[in-house]
């Protein structure tokens, strides 16, 4: 089982969506966690509702700061927003880091959350598959 970290700024929407999608769709080869470089401490309610509707939500998902996972031996770190990419911390053990940015749907129409989720699934999951599942 490979470990991947999905890193964003606030860890409230895009990174949580990525974590949930990877765990729901790729759980046979990858375990995903998410974190924020400046975690908000809350999950966006629209993102959570969408993930619940799709059956991807787990009660263990929550917004957390990078310090809570920094010592986890990740096989891959993915930054999903430009700010996280620019401020991604150094990990104690060398780890491959890639950047795949998604626009933040926060504050936009509710349909934008579903579009973002679909885009994350269509774009990020094949990359994770190629990187970690061969």
pLDDT digits (tens, 9 = 90+) for 80-129: 988 877 877 777 777 899 999 999 999 899 999 999 999 999 999 999 99
pLDDT at residue number 85: 78
Is the overall model pTM greater than 0.75, yes or no? Answer: yes
> What is the mean predicted confidence (pLDDT) over 30-38?
95
2-125: which CATH architecture? 3-Layer(aba) Sandwich (3.40)
Report, as residue numbers or ranges, the catalytic residues: 8, 81, 88
| Strands of 30-36's sheet in order across | 30-36, 2-8, 76-79, 96-99
C-alpha distance from residue 93 to each of 7, 53, 73 (Å): 17, 37, 7
Nearest-CA neighbor of 126 among 98, 85, 86? 98
User: Where are the domains positioned within the chain?
Assistant: 2-125
Q: How far apart are CA 53 and CA 73, in angstroms?
A: 32
Is residue 102 within 8 Å of residue 14, measured between CB atoms?
Answer: yes
């Amino acid at each position: 089982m490979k470990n991947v970290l999905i890193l964003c700024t606030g860890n409230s929407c895009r990174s949580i969506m990525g974590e949930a999608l990877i765990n729901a769709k790729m759980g046979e080869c990858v375990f995903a966690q998410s974190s924020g470089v400046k975690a908000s401490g809350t999950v966006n309610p629209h993102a959570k509702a969408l993930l619940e509707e799709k059956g991807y939500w787990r009660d263990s998902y929550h917004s957390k700061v990078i310090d809570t996972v920094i010592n986890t031996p990740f096989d891959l770190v993915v930054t999903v927003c430009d700010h996280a990419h620019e401020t991604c911390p150094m990990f104690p053990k060398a780890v491959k880091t890639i950047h795949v940015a998604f626009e933040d749907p926060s504050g936009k129409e509710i349909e934008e959350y579903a579009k973002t989720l679909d885009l994350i699934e269509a774009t990020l999951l094949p990359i994770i598959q190629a990187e970690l599942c061969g």
